Structure 1
Amino acid sequence: METLSLAVVVGAALFFTFTNGFRDAAGAVATSISTRSLTPRVALAMAAFMNLAGAFLGQGVAETVSENLIDPPAGGQGLTILFAALLGAIAWNLAAWRLGLPSSSSQALFGGLVGAALAGASTVHWDGVLTSVVLPMVLFPLVALLAGYLLMVGILWAFRRAGPHRAQRGFRMAQTVSAAGMALGHGLQDAQKTMGVVVLALVVADAEGEGGGIPVWVRITCAAMLALGTYLGGWRIMRASGRRVIELDPPRGFAAETTAASVLYAASYLFHAPVSTTHVLTAAIMGSGATRRLSAVRWQVAKNIVLGWCVTMPAAAAAAAAGYGLVRLVLP
């Protein structure tokens, strides 16, 4: 029975990763598509491949997710908590995708974990939630906002004497590289978050195996599902992350993607902090776009996006708590 429960939890984790591809990963190439540097299909295929590659570049984020947030009990009760957490995260991901709201799959996952743990009277490491989730979710987008602005100012100064058409053409080509870097950073971040949940499920079910770490099959399946979700969907989210926030040109698109990718790498390697690709990229877009003029940023749209960020964690937590109650009702 416990083996079946573990298989259900792993299946739910993989489906969450797939919805993450629908929800977040397409945002990695939204700016390149909005500036017409890449066609949608080429951009999504490239993003899917880079997501797959990024998933194999580290494990610090996965360790943070599996060790620093909740401590579910061993056995069936712990697996029920993890399943309910994933249910809550998936429910919010699908609802937000349906609404075209670029909220964060990462926040949905963390909200689901906390909500399910509280509903199941399990331990929540509030210090870990604060330092590993809440603070990075606030600070890294602010860093991206400022860095995107400063990088774009530097680009404007460095290319102040360049011909406009030549510069536009050059940055359109450069966006191929920056979009690839952004997608690689997304794979590095978001595939690992699901890996952390799967590893936690293996620990709870006492099926971790020798040597600890992340099993190769976990890396491959999580990376493949994220890449598949990236390639098959995400059009509604790309519209919200790209032109609706600001009309981007290739230099600003390059600045936003380069900034966001750099922030994701720093968060992953220097701090092992799980951060939201959606938050970081949108903040970088606003920062680079504000160099044109503050009024060029559609602040009402940005406000709606920020509202989605604020709602995501409590909404996913509530959905996970309800999911836990439902599972316990069906399987007491």
Structure 2
Amino acid sequence: MKAMRLIQEDDSSTESRRAASRGHHVNEVGPAMMAARGKEKSVREKPRVIEERSTPVKPQRASKKDNGKAVLIEEVLLRQNEVPSEGIRMKVPRERAFEVLLLLQYLDRKREKYADGCINESYVEIVRNRTRTKVLVAAEVAAKERKSQPTEASYQALRKRLVEEVEKRIQSEQVGEGLREDVERANCASVDLLSKPEACRTAYDAESLKVDKLSIAAKKKEQEYQIELAVRAKKLIEYESAQISDLELIEKLEAQCGELRTQRSQAEEKLCDVEAKLTEAEWKNRELLEETRHVLIARVERCLRGYVLWQIKSQRTSVTRD
């Protein structure tokens, strides 16, 4: 069980290394796994009793060549599979043999990986030494970090000051450049003003002439506008008088419309009366028609009965004569 735990821990720490050699390992273990699974089914169906001979189990040593280096590999056997004497029968499941095979292959691979310097050390000692070195390195790193904390704080403070000074210097340089540009512009403007007074005078004279011309044109336009305003005022007076006459006509038409509306209402009332009278006459006509129908029906029925009786009497008289 300890060996399996060590395998799991090492697997979790060396997943990235195993990803590269995963295909090779699967090719090695694949046939054994298939055979073990087939045998496992047969064992579950019927347990087999195996007789083993009393041969003392000893750890064997073998030598392999990997990249020109001789590496000793120890085969690890579990105590559960050891047989102390002859003639003892045990029910050995195939699963245990398969686990032992996988464990041996895994330990062989790890032995090949970690057997560069120390040959006689076991895998557990190698892992223990590696963990100790890791712990020592971590402690040294933590101590160095603790020592370097004050120096880092002072370095950061100096760095902040330096950044602030650099920013201030950049700002001052920018302000100085802006002032220099302003001074150069002012000098250029003063030179232009001193060198071009005559041009300004000629431009002023030309603009004054333009202003005079524009003022004369504006006066002419004002006179024209005044004439147009007088004409438009006369037209407005005429329009107002026409509007008054139109309003009077509208009032007269509205009065006539009112009279016509009253006449229309009276005519509608008369029509209502006539319609009522017509409805009454229609009802009376219907009643008279119904009465005449009933009278005619009664008379026709009487006539038919008399005719039928007459025929019956005539037939009887003819029969009696015969």
With structure 1 as the length reference, what TM-score do the two structures score? Answer: 0.21
More relative contact order, 1 or 2 (CA 8 Å, 6+ apart):
1
* Larger CA Rg, structure 1 vs 2: 2
With structure 2 as the length reference, what TM-score do the two structures score? Answer: 0.22
